[in-house]
Structure formats: C-alpha cells, structure tokens
Amino acid sequence: MKKFSPFFILIAVAFLFPAQPVFSKDTVVIYTSLENEEFVEYIKQAKVELPDLDIQAIRLSTGELGARMLAEKNNPQADCVWGWAVTNMEEFVPRKMIKPYKPEGWDKIPAHFKDPNGYWTAIDLYAAAFVINTKVVEKKNLPTPKGWKDLLNPAYKDMLIMPNPASSGTGFLQVASLLEMLDGDYKTKPVEDNKAWDFLKELDKNMGQYIKSGSKPAKLTAAGEYAVGCSFAFVYSSLKKKGFPVAMVLPEEGAGFELEANALLEGARHEAAAKKFLDWALSKSAMEGYSKFKLGVTYPGMKGPADMPSLDSIKLAPMDFPWQSKNRAKILEVWSNLFLH
C-alpha cells in the first residue's frame, strides 16, 4: 500500500477545493424613511449591485428619523440618508448636519429635483390620495368623495383616518397642501391665521383617528375599519394587488406631494462607502427599482407603475417646499394644539 506524504495530501486538497477569495466589505450605515414594502425590495437590489458594501440600513418614520439625527448630532451614527422628505431635509442644511455631495449622474437630474449646491438630490415623489374601501362605502351607503371638501359631509363621521403630520411625512404634505391651496395669502400672514385651519377643524369632526404612519390609514381602511384613509398613491397600488376592496381618489383640488431625497451626512464615519452608495442610489438601475412603486421618479423619461395614473395626468398641488420647511415647526405646533387633545 502506497503511503502519501502530508505535503502531497495538502496539494491534493488544494486542487480539489481551490481557495475562495476573501473580500472585506466596506460598511455603510443608512437612515431611511422609505416605506417598508419598497425598502425591502430596494435593499435586495442594492446588495446584489453593491457586493463590496456591507449595507446597514435602519428604517424610521419621517419624524423619527429627524429626531434621531438631532439626538446624534454630536456623535453621528449614520453616514447618509436615503429617501427622506425634502421638507425635513431642508431643516438640517443650516444646522450644518448635511455635507454637499453631487453623486455620479447628478447632472441628469432636473434642477427642480435637487439642491443647487448638492446638499440633497431627490429620487422620487409621492402624492397624497384617498384610499376608499368600496365594500364599506356600499354597505353604509356613503358617497365616494372627489376631493377634500367632500370629506366634510357628516355621513363620514368617525369613518375617516389620517396620518399625524408631526410623525408622518404624508400627514405633513396633506396639511401643508391645504394651507397653500385654501389660502392664497399663505405667504404673507402668520401660519396660525391661515384660512385652512377652519377647514381642518370641520374635517376633524369626521375624523376617527390620527395615526403615526402614512401608510396605516390606507391599510386600516382596506381592512374595513374605516371608509376613507387619507394616505398616498403607492400604498393603494400595493393593497389592490393583494386583493383588498379598495379604490383610489386623487383629490380634485390638487394632490399634495413630497420629494424623497438622499444626502451625505456631516461627520460620516464611512464617507467613501456612503458616496458609493449614493452614486448607486441615483443610478438608472436604482431608479428602475423605484419606478415599480412610485408615482414618479426624478430620472428623466422613466414611467411609474402600469396600474397607476401617469404623472402628467394628475393635478398636483402647488407645493412651496421652501415655505413649508421654514414654517414646519409652526405648522406642527398649530396643528398639535388644535387636534391633539
């Protein structure tokens, strides 16, 4: 019987099982307020297309994300923000918590979708919409609303649900759009004197609940707990695909909308990895992923979901983002004093 030396055995093993290259991944810590359902899909795509990054993403509601950043101001834990409301983002520029960065492909994004100095770049927009439970409406013999003013009908008492604007970007854009649409002098008067507060007081009489999440009003409505959920267009599409008895109405007065944007954070511990992620997050491939969910993306010429109305067919509210950002704290203060009791 032949004997084999240990050296020969090692050579044979090496031949049969060739060494696999070991790559060390660069860590990047990301905060996002993208909705869970889309966020999961985007992360899958990102991990495939960025194999050299260890992507650690934390999903928070719009308000929670800002509060966390403020709490960590002197010791930042995240490297970048992905898909956060621009009206929130703008507040952090003068606080010197966002570092200018123009990702690869920045020049392709239209000027009205990005900060000229590179503090933030938007990837998509989402629009306010009413999600109607068709079975509840039929059973209770309720009219189908066409716009905000229809929701004042006493027949809807306790049958409406809306996000709390202090914690939800969707809730904030809904309130902000009404402040602008219902008072032509919104820029020249104190926020507390805006005519829309009278409208919101009347709406409050029919409101069953204010809730933290922007998508929950649609989901609870789909489950039959309410007739109308003041939510946003994407979540309707998701619920419809799952077979819920829902219909969507874009308010005839104009659909409020918000831009979701990305930014590099000042004090990022993994800046190079964050820049690589932000480059990907603005790429055509990433945008194609967003377009499966979003009403509109900022990459020119890219269409949204097939089951959603085209962006150019929708009447959008004239959103004044600089005014909203500047007056955000006051808007939330007035709203909270009136409706959180």
126-257+317-339 is classed CATH 3.40.50.261 = no
Looking at residue 62, its pLDDT comes to 85
DSSP states along 259-300:
EEEEEEETT-TTHHHHHHHHHHHTSHHHHHHHTTT-SEESST
Whole-number Å distance between alpha carbons of 89 and 112 = 15
**Ranges in the chain annotated CATH 3.40.190.10:** 26-124+258-308, 126-257+317-339
Does 2 score more than 80 pLDDT?
Answer: no
Q: In terms of pLDDT, which residue wins out, 59 or 308? A: 59
Q: Which two tokens stand for residue 185?
A: 């002098």
Q: Please check whether residue 242 is in contact with residue 307, taking contact to mean a CB–CB distance below 8 angstroms.
A: no
Looking up tokens 């104009």 gives: 254
Average pLDDT for 319-325: 90
- pLDDT tens-digit series, residues 29-40: 999 999 888 999
Measured CA to CA, the distance from residue 160 to residue 210 in angstroms comes to: 9
Q: In which band, very low, low, confident or very high, does the pLDDT at 306 lie, cut at 50, 70 and 90?
A: confident
Looking at residue 163, the DSSP 8-state letter turns out to be E
Q: What is the pLDDT of residue 296?
A: 87
Query: When comparing pLDDT for 204 and 170, which is higher?
Result: 204
CA 240 from centre of chain: 20
**What does the pLDDT read at residue 17?**
44
**Angstrom distance (rounded) from CA 67 to CA 25:** 29
CATH of range 26-124+258-308; options 3.20.20.150, 3.40.190.10, 2.30.30.100, 1.20.120.1200: 3.40.190.10
Rounded to whole angstroms, the Cα distance separating 224 from 207 reads 15
Return the HEC string of 93-107. Answer: CCCCCEECCCCCCHH
List the beta strands (DSSP E) in 35-179. 53-59, 80-85, 98-99, 121-133, 160-163
Residue 105 pLDDT: 95
28: part of which helix (H) or strand (E)? strand 26-32
Residue 2 CB-density burial (10 A; 0-12 exposed, 13-18 middle, 19+ buried): exposed
**Comparing 23-27, 110-114, 333-337, which segment has the lowest mean pLDDT?**
23-27
Of residues 280 and 1, which shows the higher confidence score? 280
Mean pLDDT along residues 69-89: 95
Q: Which of 21-30, 90-99, 211-220 has the lowest mean pLDDT?
A: 21-30
pLDDT of residue 298: 92
Average confidence (pLDDT) over 292-299: 89
Q: Is the pLDDT of residue 6 over 70?
A: no
Tally: H helices and E strands in the chain: 12, 11
pLDDT for the residue 1: 45
Question: Over the chain, what is the mean pLDDT?
Answer: 91
Of the pLDDT bands very low, low, confident and very high (cuts 50, 70, 90), residue 23 is low
Cα distance between residue 332 and residue 163, in whole Å: 13
**pLDDT band with cut points at 50, 70 and 90 for residue 167:** confident
Q: What is the pTM (predicted TM-score) of this model?
A: 0.75
